[in-house]
Amino acid sequence: MLPGMDEHIPRGRVYGADHDDPDPGPQPGHVYRELVGGPLDGLLLDVTGWTDEQLGQGAALITEIGRYGPGGRALCEPRPGDRDDFDWSGDCP
């Protein structure tokens, strides 16, 4: 659940959910960051259990639709001053 949104669960598809998953959305009791920009724009990243240090480092997420095709990664960094979003900063092989 995104901070400040305790009354409801955010909507959207969760990164890594199977395309044939009947419920690819967020689950109660989980913590998410929205991915903004780049090939994964609009997806939610489940960061449940991540430490503050891990959240501060961001993520390199596998994607088939980035610049480097299958196996490439989208680099996502925390947005300064915004705990809810990870901004796309580029792709890497």
Q: What is the pLDDT of residues 35-58, one digit of tens each?
A: 999 999 999 999 999 999 999 999
pTM beyond 0.95: no
Question: Which comes out higher in pLDDT, residue 65 or 5?
Answer: 65
What distance in Å separates the CA atoms of residue 32 and residue 93, rounded to the nearest whole number? 25
Q: What percent of the chain has pLDDT over 70?
A: 89
Q: What Å distances lie between residue 28 and 10, 11, 23, 60, 75, CA to CA?
A: 10, 11, 12, 25, 26
